[in-house]
């Protein structure tokens, strides 16, 4: 685990084979019993639950003091095992086919869902992170996992807009979901033009608040290449990929 995390965080390697070669070339005095690449890969896979636990501890124990604990940003990003044109064969029990509207593509894999504390002028810090199969809708994750939190203001994109549900949440839990304005089907052009300026101003304000979580995802991708999981060949390997790379990113972030 130390070699894996060091290879990603400090050497910028994103593939296990690269990390193993680096360790053999430069760290053999420290790790004389490292073994072959295949043996190292198998040992990592057996430690998949340890990577899961490590990522949980990093999120739980290293929360910065400047987190605004009653304001949350939320979003998701894909973890792609193969394109939607092919039949996904890896880790079928935790993956399936989904669509990424941001990239405009169908894919097999998982989704990373993040609920982050807002921090003024910088990246958010995760409060909770969940992985789901790719087909799971973001708003369903929000309803099941996070909508019962009291006294919160959530900032999300248009997919989280559900007027009836959000109104009930506000009454029951004193929490509200703020999203950019979503066009209403059947609205006349006259009314659209009349309210356009106010809607655009509101949508821009919400988008600016939630933009840091998009920057957070871009930062994680840049540091770890977490989105590309096409080299993974097993369920345990996918768990190592998902939680191991997340742990490496948050070690950097926490310290």
Query: Which domains can be identified in the chain, with CATH numbers?
Result: 70-229 (3.30.420)
- Identify the pLDDT of residue 187: 60
Please choose, from the candidates 164, 163, 137, 169, the residue with its C-alpha nearest in 3D space to the C-alpha of residue 72: 169
* Tens-digit pLDDT string for the chain (255 aa): 999 999 999 999 999 999 999 999 999 999 999 999 999 999 999 999 999 999 999 999 999 999 999 999 999 999 999 988 888 888 999 999 999 988 889 999 999 999 999 999 999 999 999 999 999 999 999 999 999 999 999 999 999 999 899 999 999 999 999 999 876 666 656 666 666 777 888 899 999 999 999 999 999 999 999 999 999 999 999 999 999 999 999 987 777
H or E element: which one contains 130? Answer: strand 125-133
CA distance 144 to 224: 29
Q: What are phi and psi of 131, to 5 degrees?
A: -110, 140
pLDDT of 189? 65
- Look at residue 123 in the predicted model and tell me its pLDDT: 94
- Give the pLDDT score at 30: 93
What is the Cα–Cα distance from 97 to 105, expressed in whole angstroms?
Answer: 11
- Give the separation between CA 237 and CA 79, rounded to whole angstroms: 13
Structure tokens that stand for 152 in this block: 């919160």
Rounded to whole angstroms, the Cα distance separating 252 from 134 reads 27
């Amino acid at each position: 685990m130390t070699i894996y995390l060091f290879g990603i965080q400090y050497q910028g390697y994103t593939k296990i084979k690269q990390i193993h070669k680096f360790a053999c070339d430069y760290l053999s005095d420290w790790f004389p019993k490292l073994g072959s690449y295949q043996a190292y890969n198998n040992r990592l896979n057996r430690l998949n639950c340890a990577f899961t636990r490590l990522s949980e501890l990093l999120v739980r124990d290293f929360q910065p003091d400047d987190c605004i604990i009653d304001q949350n940003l939320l979003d998701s990003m894909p973890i792609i095992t193969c394109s939607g044109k092919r039949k996904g064969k890896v880790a079928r029990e935790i993956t399936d086919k989904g669509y990424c509207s941001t990239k405009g593509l169908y894919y097999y894999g998982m989704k990373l869902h993040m609920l982050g504390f807002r921090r003024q002028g910088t990246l958010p810090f995760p409060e909770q992170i969940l992985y789901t199969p790719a087909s799971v809708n973001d708003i369903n994750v929000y309803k099941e996992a996070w909508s019962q939190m009291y006294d919160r203001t959530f900032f999300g994109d248009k997919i989280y807009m559900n007027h009836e549900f959000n109104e009930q949440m506000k009454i029951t839990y004193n929490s509200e979901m703020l999203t950019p304005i979503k066009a209403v089907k059947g609205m006349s052009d006259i009314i659209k033009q009349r309210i356009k300026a106010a809607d655009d101003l509101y949508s821009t304000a919400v988008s600016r608040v939630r933009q840091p979580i998009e920057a957070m995802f871009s930062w994680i991708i840049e540091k770890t290449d977490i989105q590309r999981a096409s080299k993974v060949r097993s369920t345990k390997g996918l768990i190592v990929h998902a939680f191991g790379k997340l742990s490496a990113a948050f070690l950097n972030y926490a310290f």
